[in-house]
Amino acid sequence: MRSSYTTLMQSKYFNPAFNSAIFDGPVRIYFAQFHESQALKVYFSIQQKLTAEMTKAKEAAKNSGANILVMIYPTADSFAFSFESSANTSTPFEVEKWNEDVVIGLRGPLEDENLDLLLETLRLTMENWRPASKTRSSPELEM
Predicted pLDDT at 137: 42
Q: Is residue 133 part of a domain?
A: no
Using alpha carbons, list the distances in angstroms from residue 38 to 70, 71, 85, 105, 108: 12, 11, 25, 14, 10
**Domain count of the fold of the chain:** 1
Which domain, by its residues, includes 115? 5-128
CATH value at residue 91: 3.40.30
* Global confidence as pTM: 0.86
Residues 51, 44: Cα–Cα separation, whole Å: 11
Q: Is residue 134 part of a domain?
A: no
CA dihedral 104, 107, 108, 110 (to 10 degrees): -70
Q: What is the pLDDT along the chain (143 residues), one digit of tens a residue?
A: 445 677 888 899 999 999 999 999 999 999 999 999 999 999 999 999 999 999 999 988 888 889 999 999 998 888 988 987 666 667 899 999 998 899 999 998 888 889 999 999 999 999 988 887 765 444 444 44
Q: Is residue 138 part of a domain?
A: no
Q: Is residue 137 part of a domain?
A: no
Packed helices 51-64 and 36-49: angle between N→C axes, nearest 10 degrees: 100
Q: Is residue 89 part of a domain?
A: yes
Q: Is residue 140 part of a domain?
A: no
Q: Is residue 50 part of a domain?
A: yes
Predicted pLDDT at 125: 93
